[in-house]
Amino acid sequence: MKVLVTGASGLLGRAVATAVLGAGHQVRTFQRRASGVMGVEDARGSVTEAADVRAALVGIDAVVHLAAKVSLAGDPAEFAAVNVGGTRRLLRAAREAGASGFVFVSSPSVAHAGSSIVGDDALPADPLRARGEYARTKAKAEAYALAADGHGFAVTAIRPHLVWGPGDTQLVGRIVDRARAGRLPLLDHGSALIDSIYVDNAASGIAAALERAEAVHGNAYVLTNGEPRPVAELLAGICRAAGVPVPRRNVPAGLARVAGSLIETAWRIRPGLDEPPMTRFLAEQLSTAHWFDQRRSRRDLQWTPAVSLDEGFRRLAASYGR
């Protein structure tokens, strides 16, 4: 099978392309710069350009779609163009090109409305209640993707939760930078219990969804390591691996949410050079429980994570030369 993997220049995209290649498939990657994955065919372009998308899909049997705009802040029109418009364009072109499978890589944030998630399965994506432009547009895109599922075109949505690992510039990079600068507070002492997933596990789960397309299509699945930890413990593990100070300063979650809302408003008027130091969505993520029932995901995908969180921390520390 020849598989197109979009967004393969990112941490998870590279890992997915490698996993699909390791399963014996031919892989073409599609993103704006070289993927850096050995053994794949790189196609460069943007999901916002119809001609680029059509060219990337020539001869493709299945698609794993990861390309997205991922940020805490930004122009809503850009989020919509990439995350919603890009997904719809890719779905339409994939069907026209004769592809038979499509794995949409989503996020549990599409069903997070600000309150705790305690042992739930994959709740319905809800763009009206999702927090922030990223989550809202991913929720819309997931809905379009699953609506396209049908005879001869199997669509599955996979929601890996808080992916991290060596080389991660999103979660790990931001945590390390903020901890080093003393700008990483604990909200309500970091007591909220949250799930995460090591990158290799997320990649193998997504690859499993591709292999199991005929059995699992039409469904959404959350993927985690199945090892929920308090926020403070997860942050401390990452900080110790990187050799930066573990966060100690506590901020009440209610205060952080108010501050996040104010900062978001100010950022829309006068955007900074970097991402805002706090948003309401980030405050909610750091102060509410979100851990998930993994029984259906593991049963249907016939998948289990191979790398424990503690082993992941050891691998992360090794990547920092520790």
- In the set 134, 144, 198, 221, the catalytic residue is 134
**What phi and psi values does residue 211 have, to the nearest 5 degrees?**
-70, -30
The 3-state secondary structure of 16-59 reads: HHHHHHHCCCEEEEEECCCCCCCCCEEEECCCCCHHHHHHHCCC
Question: What are the angstrom distances between the C-alpha of 65 and each of 82, 182, 305?
Answer: 12, 36, 21
134 a catalytic residue? yes
Give Cβ neighbours of residue 243 (< 8 Å, ≥ 6 apart). Answer: 320, 322
Positive or negative torsion for Cα 212, 213, 216, 221: positive
CA 197 to chain CA centroid, nearest Å: 10
59: region left, alpha or beta (phi > 0 left; psi from -120 to 50 alpha): left
Interatomic CA distance for residues 178 and 181, integer angstroms: 5
> What whole-number distance in Å separates Cα of residue 184 and Cα of residue 180?
8
Closest CA to 110 of 123, 101, 97: 123
Which residues are the active-site residues?
134
